[in-house]
Amino acid sequence: METTKTSYPREKIKILLLENISATAAERFTSNGYENVERLTKALSESELIEKIKDVHILGIRSKTNVTPAVLAAAEKLQAIGCFCIGTNQVALDAATHHGVAVFNAPYSNTRSVAELVIGASVMLIRKIIDKNNAAHRGDWMKDASGSNELRGKTLGIIGYGNIGAQVSVLAEAMGMKVIFYDIQTKLPMGNAQDAKSLQQLLSNSDVITLHVPDTPQTKNLINKTNLPHVKQGAIIINYARGEVVDLDELRKYLESGQLRGAAVDVFPVEPEKNGDRFVSPLQGLPNVLLTPHIGGSTEEAQQNIGEDVSNKLLSYLEKGITWGSHTVPGLALPPQEGAHRVLHIHKNVPGVLSQINGQLSQNNINILGQYLKTNDQIGYVVVDVDRKLSKQAAQLLKEVPQTIKVRLLY
Name the catalytic one among 48, 116, 173, 271.
271
Name the catalytic one among 10, 98, 230, 294.
294
Active-site residue, 319 included:
no
Name the catalytic one among 112, 242, 261, 347.
242
Residue 192 vs residues 164, 169, 181, 272: alpha-carbon distances, Å: 17, 9, 11, 40
State the CB neighbour count (10 A cutoff) for residue 112: 18
Q: Any idea what the Cα angle at residue 86 is, between residues 123 and 312, rounded to 5°?
A: 125
**Which of 167, 240, 188, 180 is CA-nearest to residue 210?**
240
Distance CA 346, CA 241 (A): 34
> Over the Cα atoms of the chain, what is R_g?
25
Pairing of strands 341-348, 404-409: antiparallel
Distance CA 171, CA 173 (A): 5
Active-site residue, 294 included:
yes
Show Cβ contacts of residue 271 under 8 Å, excluding neighbours closer than 6 positions.
64, 243, 279, 293, 294
Active-site residue, 242 included:
yes
Annotated active-site positions, please?
242, 271, 294
